[in-house]
Structure 1
Amino acid sequence: MEFTTGPKILTHVHKEVQITTYDTKWIPSSARFVVLGSYARATGCIQIYELSGNDVKLAKELETRTSFKCGTFGASGLAERNLATGNFEGYLQLWDLDHAPDKPIMDIKVRTQRRAYTTLWMKAHTSIVNDIDGIGGQTKGYGAPELVTCGRDGAVRVWDVRQKDAPVASFEPAENIAARDCWAVAFGNSFNDDERSVLAGYDNGDIKLFDLRTGTVRLETNVGNGVCSVEFDRKEIAMNKFVVACLESTFCVFDARTFHPRKGYSSATERVPMDATVWGVRHLPQNREISMVLGGDGTLMLYKYQYPDQRVVMDTDGVPLGVTGTMNLLNQQNISTQPISSWDWSPDKEGLAVCGSFDQVIRVIIVTQLNRA
């Protein structure tokens, strides 16, 4: 399929690396980005790159005992810009990359009382931290600076970065049911200092929406196959819509403005043009209706959401029911022979992004002519 008009997806920098990349993140208010992953000897890697014309330069590199799986700057202020990471052993750590990059400034753990006078410190999760998200630390998002993590142990935990001895909320698997691997989490609905929600996706297709104000499960549904990522279109507004990326060449868009007491949130499933896992859907910070879809065959797909003529209709009982819009493919570009494992739009420059893939290449991508979308 050839797209002759509209936005273009261009590779600005192609940088080969000697690591397996699991996550890439722009450092806020800078021309630098962080790469998180693993060396071939199964040790962890943090690399910091700086944009330099048509290339990138490695500014700092750190090797740790354990491989990194995910990271976020979302719970840190713009002055500190501390990176929160989750690794393959279940540890949640904070890093000051500007002033003390050689070791974490904080290990966030769970404190439990094993005996009357003995304190046992446990990891954030019993095994790999699959995903992490942050909110409240930067200019967007209200309330406390918090992190949310999920793991192979099936737990979803929320942490306040100002305290390190216990999560402020924890949603655990039921004791009599085998734990499902939780693959993805995301914050949303943070439109004032009281409201905040967490969206979680699991390996069997389960989706759960946790209301942090009430400590309850607001939504439980299933999308039919494993959930690779979840994301709200915006974290700092009242819930509008969210997207769920799936294993079997599909992603699902949920209209989150209207909740039906029996049917929940209305949704629509979109099948991508190729037979490949959808590793993620990432909304453009400057325009929440545009998003990049990450293909397991190395293809990037740029979509735009089209709202329906009516967002709410009445069902046969006169109860409001949400209406989902449509996703329109604007362009696609195959950039790799391997899955696109991570993507992060620049929060400062529209159309600029960094992505990692399993072919051991870091790419800086520019999407042009977004005003024509």
Structure 2
Amino acid sequence: MGGKSNGAGIVEIYSLTGEGLEKQTEFCKKDYFKCATFDASSLRNRHLATGDFGGRLQVWDLEDTFVPVYMTTKHSQVINSIDGVSGRNSGCGAPEIVTGSRDGSVMVWDVRQKEHPVAKFLPVEGNTGRDCWAVAFGNAYNNEERVIAAGYDNGDIKLFDLKMNAVRWCKCVKNGVVGLQFDRRDIQMNKLVATTLESKLYCFDVRTQHPKKGFAYVTEKAHDSTIWSVKHLPQNREIFMTTGGAGSLCLWKYNYPDKRVEKDSDDISYGVAGELSLLQNCTLSDQPITGFDWCVDKQGLAVASAFDQTVRVLITTKLNLQ
């Protein structure tokens, strides 16, 4: 997914066969595609939600891509990031899509409601909005609770509570935030990983929030370049992969402390961060790896894409021993 030299956006669909990857079809549209997700669609209706450089959110039926099944143009600039929730899970609220844009806004969409977002978080009136680079859903463990994490070019991470329609927590990590993911979307908030420019990653324990200290976290430096993305292993939420600007992959494991919660002198609970251990690393390309995803059905099977215009299918072994 991306763009062609003539300025058009393109999506290519492949299948994995015994002989490798086989291209099934492709479709092209007016503007470059910047981001996409299947996570708001069911396993039966595999609708792909995309964000493009024209600020359009579009949802495509891959069996018929002549016109999108849903489209909105409420963003005024490129949509940098997209995430979905409740596509495969019942009892966790309505399927929704969240988008973050260069115009500084974060918007939440229900494809059953045309044109208008069901929630939006805009820059303060009169202020220039910061470029939103990353968004992620979390805390969707019932029909009422749901939060969004958003990361910005100035290093801000904001946690929006959709039930309260308010900012629940904010922290600046100094470097632009390019990747965000909760370890699971459909459980009570547990961990949130943020990746940034200047080789930094942060793992927040978001189960316990102190009114002054906020969330406990641990940080590591890796890849010697921008850490473009983070993806947790579906079969084990303590293991995740990060992708780097130098073409490298790093596999991490989060180790919990003996006690996750302590109390301060005022008898208020605060979180205690664990530790990150590097399980494995390798270099796949001499260009940044900007796309990565695990297979939910087969543990260790993954796919990665890089700026060298190559798609790679990977297998990580011995994950069951961790």
Give, in angstroms, the shift of residue 267 of structure 1. 1.1
Partner of 2:147: 197
Give, in angstroms, the shift of residue 104 of structure 1. 1.4
Partner of 2:21: 56
Identical counterparts, % of pairs = 51
Give runs of aligned pairs for residues 332-371 of structure 1, distance below 5 A.
332-371=281-320
Determine which of 63, 66, 87 is the counterpart of 2:31.
66
Give runs of aligned pairs for residues 250-269 of structure 1, distance below 5 A.
250-269=200-219
- Give the AA of the match of 1:345: W
Partner of 1:283: 232
Partner of 2:221: 271
> Which whole-Å deviations, capped at 9, do the CAs of 1:316-343 have from their partners, x for residues lacking one?
2221110111110000000000110111
Determine the C-alpha separation between the residues in 2 that align with 1:147 and 1:45: 21
Give, in angstroms, the shift of residue 39 of structure 1. 1.0
Asked whether the 8 Å contact 1:201–1:228 carries over to 2, the reply is yes
Determine which of 258, 270, 273 is the counterpart of 1:309.
258
2:191 aligned with 1:226, yes or no? no
Give runs of aligned pairs for residues 111-126 of structure 1, distance below 5 A.
123-126=73-76
Asked whether the 8 Å contact 2:218–2:276 carries over to 1, the reply is no
Partner of 2:81: 131
Higher RCO by CA contacts (8 Å cutoff, separation 6 or greater): 1
- Give the AA of the match of 1:87: D
What TM-score does the superposition give when structure 2 sets the normalisation length?
Answer: 0.98
Asked whether the 8 Å contact 1:190–1:197 carries over to 2, the reply is yes
Determine the C-alpha separation between the residues in 2 that align with 1:308 and 1:127: 43
2:3 aligned with 1:38, yes or no? yes
Determine the C-alpha separation between the residues in 2 that align with 1:345 and 1:141: 24
SS in 2 for 1:289: strand
Partner of 2:49: 84
2:285 aligned with 1:321, yes or no? no
Partner of 1:112: none
Asked whether the 8 Å contact 2:261–2:272 carries over to 1, the reply is yes
Partner of 1:144: 94
Determine the C-alpha separation between the residues in 1 that align with 2:160 and 2:167: 5
Partner of 1:106: 70
Determine the C-alpha separation between the residues in 2 that align with 1:47 and 1:124: 26
Q: RMSD in angstroms over aligned alpha carbons?
A: 1.1
Determine the C-alpha separation between the residues in 1 that align with 2:183 and 2:56: 28
Determine the C-alpha separation between the residues in 2 that align with 1:85 and 1:145: 15
Determine the C-alpha separation between the residues in 1 that align with 2:160 and 2:295: 28
Determine the C-alpha separation between the residues in 2 that align with 1:348 and 1:253: 26
Give, in angstroms, the shift of residue 140 of structure 1. 6.3
Q: 1:350 to 1:141 in 2, by over 3 A?
A: farther
Partner of 2:138: 188
SS in 2 for 1:131: strand
Give unmatched runs, 5+ long, in structure 1: 1-35, 110-122
SS in 2 for 1:258: strand
Partner of 1:372: 321
Asked whether the 8 Å contact 1:140–1:236 carries over to 2, the reply is no
Determine the C-alpha separation between the residues in 2 that align with 1:275 and 1:77: 38
Determine which of 166, 178, 181 is the counterpart of 2:116.
166
Give unmatched runs, 5+ long, in structure 2: none
SS in 1 for 2:113: coil
Give, in angstroms, the shift of residue 102 of structure 1. 3.0
SS in 2 for 1:69: strand
SS in 2 for 1:371: helix
**Quick check: which has more Rg, 1 or 2?**
1
- Give the AA of the match of 1:82: H
Determine the C-alpha separation between the residues in 2 that align with 1:226 and 1:141: 35
What TM-score does the superposition give when structure 1 sets the normalisation length?
Answer: 0.85
- Give the AA of the match of 1:369: K
Moved segments of 4+, more than 6 Å: none
Determine the C-alpha separation between the residues in 1 that align with 2:115 and 2:3: 28
SS in 1 for 2:320: helix
- Give the AA of the match of 2:25: K
- Give the AA of the match of 2:249: L
2:19 aligned with 1:47, yes or no? no
